[in-house]
Structure 1
Amino acid sequence: MLKLGVIGTGWITKQFIDATQEVGGWKLTSVFSRRLEKANDFAKQFKGEAVGYRDLDTFFQEGDFDVVYIASPNSLHFSQARQAIMADKHVIVEKPACSNPSEMKVLIRLLRRKHHLFYFEAARHFHEENFKTIAQQIKKMKTVQGATLTYMKYSSHYDDFLAGKEPNVFSPVFSGGALQDLGVYLVYDAVAWFGVPIRAVYFPHKLRNGIDGKGIAILQYPGFEVTLNFGKTANSYLASEVYGMGETIWMNNAADLQKVELIDKQGNKNDITKAVTTNPMITEVKNFTAVLQSSNSLANKQLMEDWLAVAVQVNRVMYDLRQSAHINFRSDYEFR
């Protein structure tokens, strides 16, 4: 039985815990929130007797858990993951795992000293069967001529921003913005399917505080380009596509892969969609569970390293995109 501690009490944490309960082999034991009442109220939603904490040091020192799931504001991911590793806990951290490559390097160095620990970035769609199906189809293409990937969803927090407030997801202090929140899905797509680009440029629409509300990124590869279209200040219903020599891989949404089609030169459609789970976190939780339950397996350790290598590459591309657009976070200055 894997004992789980969680940092954060939002909807995404609940979805993750629901997934662990559906998969099985997990027990929620510890919940951290800045407000103890909130932590305890959240814990009561689930079976068992999870303990609430409001002090992070106490959470890590006294909490009875093996694995911590971190779903706090982006800027806190690094420090909390570092503290978890030093406390000898396995880590599952929501994307983006870190704000910049400097933070990522620190975590990698710590992990090299703790060979028995596992560290996962919770990029849920990266583990889905439809994601793998698309990767396999791309490999079959004799020539790739590019891709257009879209994920644009209006944020309820944008109304607060327009009212003069500064929610975490729209704050450079908390490493927010469209690229970090939604663009990361598309960067994962591009890096996993095509590799690391030779050049990455971002053209954002900046809000009053300099953060990006939406934008377009161009990733340049030898012989083709990949266009990423994402945002939190508008809704888009455009599909996403990968282009071959006449054939096209079509997907309803590059971050929420509910339907995938292979369209030939004549326009004939072949539905290649794999089964989709009701809870989108089920597949990643299954993968994390299998690895953690056989943590002594060299094959599982290598699997984690493979996933981590992609996370490091995604982190680098995300940083390069931000730098091209002169978008800086508070955390960037802490390593200068």
Structure 2
Amino acid sequence: MTERLRWGIMGTGNIANQFAQGLAGSSRGQLTAAASRTQASASAFTDKHDAKAHAFEGYDRLLDCADVDAIYLALPNHMHMEWTLKALQAGKHVLCEKPIANNADQATAMFEQAKTSGKVLVEAFMYRSHPLHHAIARHIAEGAIGKIQAIRTSFCFKVNNPEGNIRFSRACAGGALMDIGCYCVNFSRHYIGSEPQAVHATSRLNDDGVDILTSGTMHFADDVLASFTCGMTLHADNAAYICGDEGYITIPIPWKPPTEKATYTLNRGTPPRMDKGAAAAGPMSKEVSVDAGRPLYGLEADDFAAVVMDGASPTITAQDTIANMQTLDALRESAGVIFDGEQA
């Protein structure tokens, strides 16, 4: 194994560009190849990020490249299983973009192949690699807000031109829940530290049957509740709130925290009364600022490299990923969201 993990990026869309930019700021990774459906796209990608990297037309050629140790798989959702299996069978480690698959059964099969191949497979939830979330977890473990009672999150954006966008395609396993709601589900499960016992979701569907707006609830043990809204046709604060019986934590940018001065606010005491106006005293608040030192996707790449090169435990385990997919499956069933090839 070389000192730096040699990455091949499969797909050259927006998320692949973000990963490549972050990879350039990582401590233990380097871009050595990229593949797209066309030579022009692959060459434009490597010219932008590393002119010395191989540029391949077709994904099979990337898997044949001896200069690649690991694949960052940034293809549409419905292609994740096929190309993850092929990459693992070709002897490559795989960091697969979220959601890792269409459903939990596919995810299970992918991890079984990783075990058979003796290679690392991790789902890419990059936000979990940021030290902001490590600091929040420590505060919660120390009892800073007491016992968690509820979590509420949102992740929304407005797509002005959905025509041709894979997020709006049922055949591509698109939809708000899969694209961004998966973050909200993962976040709540992570901080509550268990799996929901019951879920409910309601969605606004487009003409193709894809959820463009979904709100959901998850009921955990000890009556801990989590709620979320995700959508592709509206704006929201995209913040996260972790509410305990002695205080609460506000995270203004939970999903893509900045490299420097990522913040959260620790609030203790009773929230301000709504009937007292501006003069009301608020809770005791402390803003915590965290510097990451490296770009977010670079942190993710270095975490993955530690698993491959040092035998470290992955930030997102196989069990975590499969459980997240099981929750997404249940939420989709509740909302009536069905992909091509599935039965109602």
Verify same fold: TM over 0.5.
Answer: yes
Deviations, residues 29-60 of structure 1 (Å, cap 9, x unaligned):
22111111111121112334222222322331
Which runs of 5 or more structure 1 residues have no equivalent in the other structure?
A: none
1:49 and 1:130 map into 2 onto residues whose CA distance is 34
Pair 1:274 & 2:273 matched: no
Distance in 2, matches of 1:238 and 1:86, equals: 38
Distance 1:132 1:176, change over 3 A: same
Residues 48-63 of structure 1 aligned to structure 2 (within 5 Å)? 48-62=51-65
Change in 2 beyond 3 A, CA 1:4/1:201: same
> One-letter code of the match for 2:19?
F
Q: Alpha carbons of 1:61 and 1:283: their partners in 2 closer, same or farther (altered >3 Å)?
A: closer
Q: Name the stretch that deviates more: 197-206 or 48-57.
A: 48-57
Find the counterpart in structure 2 of residue 249 from structure 1. 249
Residues 95 and 121, structure 1, Cα contact 8 Å, conserved in 2: yes
Q: Determine which of 308, 327, 331 is the counterpart of 1:321.
A: 331
Aligned to 2:67: 64
Q: Cα distance, 1:255 vs. partner?
A: 2.0
Question: What's the CA shift string for 1:13-34, capped at 9, x where partnerless?
Answer: 1221222221243332221111
Pairwise CA distance, 1:63: 5.3
Deviation at 1:280, TM superposition (A): 2.5
- The 2-side partners of 1:226 and 1:68 are apart by 34
TM-score, structure 2 as length reference = 0.87
TM-score for both structures, normalised by structure 1: 0.89
- Say whether the 8 Å CA contact 1:252–1:259 is kept in structure 2: yes
Instruction: Assess, with a 3 A threshold, how the Cα gap between structure 1 residues 277 and 218 changes in structure 2: closer, same or farther.
Output: farther
Asked whether 1:264 is paired with 2:268, we answer yes
Q: Which amino acid aligns with 1:186?
A: C
Distance 2:151 2:30 in 1: 41
1:190-201 aligned within 5 A: 190-194=188-192, 195-201=194-200
1:212 aligns with 211
Shift of 1:77: 0.9
Equivalent residue for 1:96, pick from 96, 99, 115: 99
Distance 1:331 1:111 in 2: 25
Q: Which residue of 2 aligns with 1:20?
A: 23
TM-superposed CA distance for 1:276, in Å, is 4.5
The Cα shift of 1:250 comes to 1.1
Q: Distance in 1 between matches of 2:63 and 2:256?
A: 34
Matches of 2:23 and 2:205, distance apart in 1: 38
Q: Is 1:200–1:217's contact at 8 Å kept on the other side of the alignment?
A: yes
Q: Tell me which residue corresponds to 2:161.
A: 160
Tell me how far 1:306 sits from its aligned partner.
6.0
* C-alpha contact (below 8 Å) 2:264/2:289 kept by paired residues: yes
Q: Once the 2 structures are TM-superposed, how far is the Cα of residue 318 of structure 1 from its aligned partner?
A: 1.0
Contact 1:170–1:177 (CA<8 Å) still a contact in 2? Answer: yes
User: 1:268 and 1:279 mapped to 2: Cα distance?
Assistant: 32
Percentage identity across paired residues of the two chains = 21
CA 63–52 in structure 1, closer or farther in 2 if over 3 Å, else same: farther
Check the 8 A contact 1:191/1:313 in 2, yes or no. no
- Mapped contact 1:5–1:63 kept (Cα < 8 A): no
Which of 131, 145, 148 pairs up with 2:149? Answer: 145
Q: Post-superposition, which runs of at least 4 consecutive aligned residues in structure 1 deviate over 4 A?
A: none
Task: Mark the CA change 1:26 to 1:69 in structure 2 (over 3 Å): closer, same or farther.
Answer: same
Pairwise CA RMSD:
2.1
How far does residue 232 in structure 1 lie from its aligned partner after superposition? 1.1
Comparing 238-247 with 271-280, greater Cα deviation is found at 271-280
Alpha carbons 2:10, 2:34 under 8 Å: kept? yes
8 Å CA contact 2:46–2:54 kept in 1: the answer is yes
In structure 2, the partner of 1:180 is 178
Distance in 2 of aligned mates of 1:283 and 1:176: 27
Q: Is 2:25–2:294's contact at 8 Å kept on the other side of the alignment?
A: no
Give the Å deviation of 1:148: 1.2
How many residues are matched?
321
Is residue 303–residue 314 contact of structure 2 (8 Å, CA) maintained in 1? Answer: no
| Equivalent AA in structure 1 for residue 34 of structure 2 | V
How far, CA to CA, are the matches of 1:243 and 1:255 in structure 2? 18
Q: Counterpart of 1:290?
A: 306
Counterpart code for 1:318: L
Could you list the per-position Cα deviations for residues 58-91 of structure 1 after superposition, in whole angstroms to 9, with x for gaps in the alignment? 3312453111111111111111111100101000
SS of the residue corresponding to residue 259 of structure 1 reads strand
